[in-house]
Amino acid sequence: MAKKITTPLTDDVIMSLEIGDEVELTGVIYTARDSAHKRMVEMLDKGEELPIDIKGQAIYYAGPAPAPPGKPIGSIGPTTSSRMDAYAPRLYDLGLKATIGKGPRAKPVVEAMVRNKAIYLTAIGGVAALPALRVKEAKVVAFEDMGPEAITMLVVEDFPLIVSIDAKGNDLHVEGQKKWQR
């Protein structure tokens, strides 16, 4: 049975999750891909504030498709998370509690998760229309000039995810391979 979690995420909630746990996330999450991450880090390098408050939040590595009539958003599948690995540790250090994407993460990202009591959640790829059904509201909140790479605030309800890396550094991508090796 899936564990119900809500943003903003707390240390207690994060520490209660283990790799392989199925979760249903409710609350606000933000979409941001590599171009948005690059711009956020450039802002930080200049001493500027981020356009969103990431403390306790989750960033979904996705670029939403335009909304069809009567819907808040179009298809919204995950992109490959390793494209954000150069930026993720800095954002975790600033209070980000979860990232959502697909695929394995680099060692410095996992170390940042452990250091900051944060997690990595996997969204199932290839079925991008299904997560869109869990989005109740969508609004571009930063970098509108980037089109689908803009930062979009999503209000989600029971958004289905799997804990792939927990706050202790356990990694489902590593453990899963070990399980099936002979």
SS in 3 state form for 143-175? CHHHHHHCEEEEEEEEEEEEEEECCCCCEHHHH
| pLDDT, tens digit, 9 for 90 and up, residues 9-32 | 999 999 999 999 999 999 999 999
pLDDT at 129 over 90: no
| pLDDT, tens digit, 9 for 90 and up, residues 30-79 | 999 999 999 999 999 999 999 999 999 999 999 888 899 999 999 998 99
Please give the tally of structural domains in the chain.
Answer: 1
The neighbour count for residue 108, using CB atoms within 10 Å, is 13
Please compute the mean of the pLDDT values over residues 144-156 and round it to a whole number.
95
pLDDT bin (cut points 50, 70, 90) of residue 128 is confident
% residues pLDDT > 90 (the chain): 83
Please compute the mean of the pLDDT values over residues 153-180 and round it to a whole number.
90
Helix (H) or strand (E) holding 90: helix 88-93
What six digits make up the tokens of 80?
């490959």
Say which residues have a Cβ less than 8 Å from residue 24's Cβ, sequence separation at least 6. 2, 3, 4, 5, 158, 159, 160, 161
Please compute the mean of the pLDDT values over residues 90-100 and round it to a whole number.
98
Q: Report the chain's mean pLDDT, rounded to a whole number.
A: 94
Q: Give the pLDDT confidence score for residue 148 in this predicted structure.
A: 84
C-alpha–C-alpha distance, residues 163 and 161, integer Å: 7
pLDDT at 127 over 90: no
Domain housing 61: 3-180
Q: Are 107 and 146 in contact (CB under 8 A)?
A: no
% residues pLDDT > 70 (the chain): 95
CATH number of the CATH domain containing 88 = 3.20.130.10
Q: Are 146 and 155 in contact (CB under 8 A)?
A: no
What six digits make up the tokens of 81?
């998370």
